[in-house]
């Protein structure tokens, strides 16, 4: 019996090397667990039918040098894995089969990772609860009456529910960190461009990034290092070089944490985390990020603008759903009206609005200006501090259905996370305390941000904080 609850990449690797179990046995353990407990959580849209075949191939790659061979992973439904369905949890991609591998997938595949299946998500990664999926919702494994967060809710729930050892998500405004926080696991949004977006379905191209979920910071680090690097198929991808200066000072933007929208227990957990860092020998200082309160507004102009552009490719001609009209225009309108869910339609229209000639300057251009101000705010802050700390989300996971009728309430879930995407810096969410409601211990998360290419700082701080070494 493999202990799926406490397994890590390193533990599995050792067991595979020593022959304690085989790749096939490990994969089978997850398949059994998914069969037994997976239906209720509904983390997966599909468990691939070739998992054991993949496992047998991966067995040959098991070696002391290759930590990832045989590691079972779940992937978000918006990344391409050749020959397998991929659909961004949208009806408009009904029947679509990936014709090639995303670069991140290819790298993991070459290492011998075993892909268990594709996970549920908010349609085209738009949402903070996974309730915007066209294929039903995913439940939080810690409290089945609550959402797992989103948009990568299926990937977070898969790891938290022991239905995958690790998983991949994508993060445009918080879609890895917020579900990691709500499910009590670790989630990394890497530096913009550090992992290729080739083969990741585009949402907001200047914001999107692929990143890992795991139960430990070490596992997240292993996956990040395996996927990163410049890629000729993504001109915005970069090689990030990390240099190891000593980490001394951590900054807290106190002025941004005073709003009444933050749950008092989340704030308590956050204060406790600061005490812990002090005890670990770090200096905590107040910092000013003068424009951070505008982040969410900037995000809700730029992101829909990019969404409306990116989603114009779904026209019923090239792939997926097709609805027949009297002419081509009516084909478009019928296909898109039926194929896209409500949130996707809302953001496409919002994007079209802020990009329209009459409003372009007032909204889109203004948002670009404030984005530049934000970048310079952070550049200045990182002259004084090595990392910046905030809670990941303003409150623990909410009840299913609680925020579906109020888009602004849902958008506020991302208040602390969107800034890292706008600025392009890396950020990690690590478990930090609980809020007990109805006898359920709901996890809260701590977000650590560092400057471009300095994921190493996040890993060091995260491991110290969680007592990993």
| Contact residues: other proteins, CB under 8 A | 96-97, 99, 206, 235-236, 291, 294, 296-298, 300-301, 308, 312, 315-322, 326-329, 331-334, 336-338, 340, 342, 345-346, 348-350, 352-353, 356, 362-363, 365-373, 375, 407-408, 411
Token pair listed for 429: 């969410």
Q: Is 76 a catalytic residue?
A: yes
Nearer to other proteins, 369 or 436 (CB): 369
Nearer to other proteins, 284 or 297 (CB): 297
d(C-alpha 89, C-alpha 125), whole Å: 9
Residue 245 is given by DSSP the state P
Which of 416, 410, 187, 413 shows the shortest CA–CA distance to 289?
416
Q: Is the bond preceding 151 in cis, omega lying within 30 degrees of 0?
A: yes
Q: Is 175 a catalytic residue?
A: yes
Q: Which of 128, 151, 194, 196 is catalytic?
A: 151
Q: Is 450 a catalytic residue?
A: no
d(C-alpha 421, C-alpha 220), whole Å: 19
Q: Supply φ then ψ for residue 341, to 5 degrees.
A: -80, 180
Q: Strand 387-391 and strand 249-252: pairing? A: parallel
Nearer to other proteins, 249 or 312 (CB): 312
Nearer to other proteins, 185 or 209 (CB): 209
Nearer to other proteins, 280 or 360 (CB): 360
DSSP string, 79-117: B--TTSB--TT-GGGTT-B-SS--HHHHHHHHHT-EEEE
Nearer to other proteins, 57 or 352 (CB): 352
Token pair listed for 455: 């994921």
CB of 424 to other proteins, least distance (A): 9
Q: Is 27 helix (H, G, I), strand (E, B) or coil?
A: helix
How many Cα atoms occupy the beta-carbon half-sphere of 366 within 13 Å? 12
CB of 357 to other proteins, least distance (A): 12
d(C-alpha 23, C-alpha 339), whole Å: 39
CB of 449 to other proteins, least distance (A): 19
CB of 356 to other proteins, least distance (A): 8
Which of 437, 428, 397, 399 shows the shortest CA–CA distance to 413?
397
Taking the CB of residue 412, how many other CB atoms lie within 10 A of it? 18
Nearer to other proteins, 164 or 296 (CB): 296
What is the CA 398 to chain-centroid distance, rounded?
A: 18
CB of 346 to other proteins, least distance (A): 6
CB of 203 to other proteins, least distance (A): 16
Q: Which of 175, 194, 273, 450 is catalytic?
A: 175
Q: Is 167 helix (H, G, I), strand (E, B) or coil?
A: strand
Q: Which of 76, 106, 107, 228 is catalytic?
A: 76
d(C-alpha 61, C-alpha 423), whole Å: 39
CB of 380 to other proteins, least distance (A): 14
Q: In DSSP terms, which residues pair with 211 in a beta bridge? A: 169
Catalytically active residues, by annotation: 76, 151, 175
């Amino acid at each position: 019996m493999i202990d799926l609850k406490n397994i890590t990449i390193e533990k599995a690797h050792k067991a595979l090397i020593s022959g304690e179990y085989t790749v096939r046995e490990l994969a089978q353990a997850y398949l059994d667990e998914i069969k037994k407990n997976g239906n209720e959580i509904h983390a997966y849209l599909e468990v691939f039918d070739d998992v054991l075949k993949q496992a047998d191939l991966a067995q040959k790659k098991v070696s002391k040098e290759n930590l990832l061979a045989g590691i079972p992973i779940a992937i978000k439904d918006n990344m391409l894995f050749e020959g397998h369905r991929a659909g961004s949890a949208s009806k408009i991609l009904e029947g679509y089969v990936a014709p090639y591998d995303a670069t991140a997938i290819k790298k993991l595949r070459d290492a011998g990772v075993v892909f268990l299946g594709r996970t549920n998500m908010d349609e085209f990664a738009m949402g903070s609860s996974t309730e915007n999926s066209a294929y039903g919702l995913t439940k939080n494994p810690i409290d089945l009456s609550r959402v797992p967060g989103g948009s990568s809710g299926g990937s977070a729930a898969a790891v938290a529910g022991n239905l995958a050892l690790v998983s991949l998500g994508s993060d445009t405004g918080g879609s890895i960190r917020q579900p990691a926080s709500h499910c009590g696991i670790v989630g990394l949004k890497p530096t913009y461009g550090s992992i290729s977006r080739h083969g990741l379905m585009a949402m907001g191209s200047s914001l999107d990034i692929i990143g890992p979920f795991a139960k430990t910071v070490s596992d997240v680090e292993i996956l990040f290092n395996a996927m990163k690097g410049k890629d000729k198929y993504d001109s915005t991808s970069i090689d990030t070089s990390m240099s190891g200066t000593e980490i001394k000072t951590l900054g807290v933007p106190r002025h941004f944490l005073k709003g009444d929208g933050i749950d008092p227990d989340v704030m308590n957990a956050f204060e406790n985390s600061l005490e812990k860092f002090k005890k670990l020998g770090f200096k905590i200082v107040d910092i000013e990020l003068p424009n951070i309160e505008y982040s969410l507004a900037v995000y809700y102009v730029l992101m829909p603008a990019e969404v409306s552009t990116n989603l114009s490719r779904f026209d019923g001609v090239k792939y997926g759903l097709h609805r027949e009209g009297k002419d081509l225009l009516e084909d478009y309108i019928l296909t898109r009206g039926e194929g896209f869910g409500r949130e996707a339609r809302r953001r496409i229209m919002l994007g079209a609005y802020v990009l329209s000639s009459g409003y372009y300057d007032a909204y889109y251009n203004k948002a670009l200006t404030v984005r530049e101000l934000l970048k310079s705010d952070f550049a200045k802050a990182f002259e004084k501090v090595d990392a910046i700390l905030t809670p990941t989300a303003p409150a623990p996971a909410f009840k299913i259905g609680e925020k579906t009728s109020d888009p602004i309430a849902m958008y506020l879930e991302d208040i602390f996370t969107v800034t890292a995407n706008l600025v392009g810096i890396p950020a990690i969410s690590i478990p930090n305390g609980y809020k007990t409601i109805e006898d359920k211990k709901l996890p809260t998360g701590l977000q650590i941000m560092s400057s471009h290419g300095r994921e190493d700082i996040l890993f060091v701080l995260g491991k110290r904080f969680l007592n990993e070494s």
